[in-house]
Structure 1
């Protein structure tokens, strides 16, 4: 996806539980722009998380997390790698820890488990050079720059519940909201 076909995205649909039969947020967003969005689940596993994930989730140095790794496609072309990390005390024994599609997506399942995401998660955007494994997955040449969007989400009760790290080849636009002072 080049910068000339970018659109204004909104994180809110990705934080809202889906109704039965409703399309996932990415498919719905792509369809609204006359495109086809899909995703492929690459892995579901327990791992030692990156330090930023460990710090946000407030877990100890030997605790592991569940990660769901996905390849995001636009018109069948890879545009993003998305890794979503969950504390094991939330994910173990649920579909989050199982390989397979989750009806309504992870946010719908989390909400059903009592972890409704807050409305305004912290999002960190940085630039990086694509790694060799990312080159292969995203069909990029070595040295290609990518955007890395990390979304830190807590529940409405204040419990850290998810960290999503999205490595993107596409243009990203944001609209800022003014907060009352």
Structure 2
């Protein structure tokens, strides 16, 4: 995707449970722009969490979490790697921990389990040089830059429920809201 293809992103559709039969948020967002958005599940498994995930979830060293790793495609071209992490106590024994598509997506399943996401999760954005593995998966040349957006989501009850790490090849624009002081 070139910078000419940029659009302003909005996290809210990705945090809202989907109605039965409704497209996932990425497919709907791409379709609204006359494009085809899809994704491929690369893995669903228990792993040792990266440091920021471990800290956010408050898990002990050696305690595992569930990750769903996806390749995000735009018009059948890779544009993003998305790794979504869940505390094992929430995800174990659910479709989150299984290889396969989740009807309505993870946010819909989590809502049925009593974990409705907060309205304004914390998002952290960083720039990096793509790793060798990321270059292979995203079809990038060596040394290509990527954006890494990490979203830390709590439930409305304040419980840490998901960390999504999105490694992006595309231009990203955001709108910010001014909060009263």
What range is the shorter-chain TM-score in?
over 0.9
Partner SS state of residue 8, structure 2:
coil
- The separation in 1 between residues aligned to 2:81 and 2:62, in whole angstroms, is 26
Deviations 1:107-144 (A, max 9, x none): 00000000000000000000011011111110001110
- The separation in 1 between residues aligned to 2:32 and 2:179, in whole angstroms, is 28
TM-score relative to the length of structure 2: 0.99
The offset of 1:5, in angstroms, is: 1.0
Q: RMSD of the alignment, in Å?
A: 0.5
- The separation in 2 between residues aligned to 1:5 and 1:24, in whole angstroms, is 21
The offset of 1:180, in angstroms, is: 2.1
| Number of aligned positions between the proteins | 181
- Runs (4+) off by over 6 Å: none
- The separation in 1 between residues aligned to 2:138 and 2:14, in whole angstroms, is 22
- The separation in 1 between residues aligned to 2:66 and 2:5, in whole angstroms, is 34
Partner SS state of residue 142, structure 1:
coil
Q: Which residue of 2 aligns with 1:161?
A: 161
Q: Which residue of 1 aligns with 2:30?
A: 30
The offset of 1:74, in angstroms, is: 0.1
Deviations 1:42-63 (A, max 9, x none): 0011000100000001110110
User: Residues 1-181 of structure 1 correspond to what in structure 2 (within 5 A)?
Assistant: 1-181=1-181
- The separation in 2 between residues aligned to 1:12 and 1:40, in whole angstroms, is 22
For structure 1, which runs of at least 5 residues remain unmatched after alignment?
Answer: none
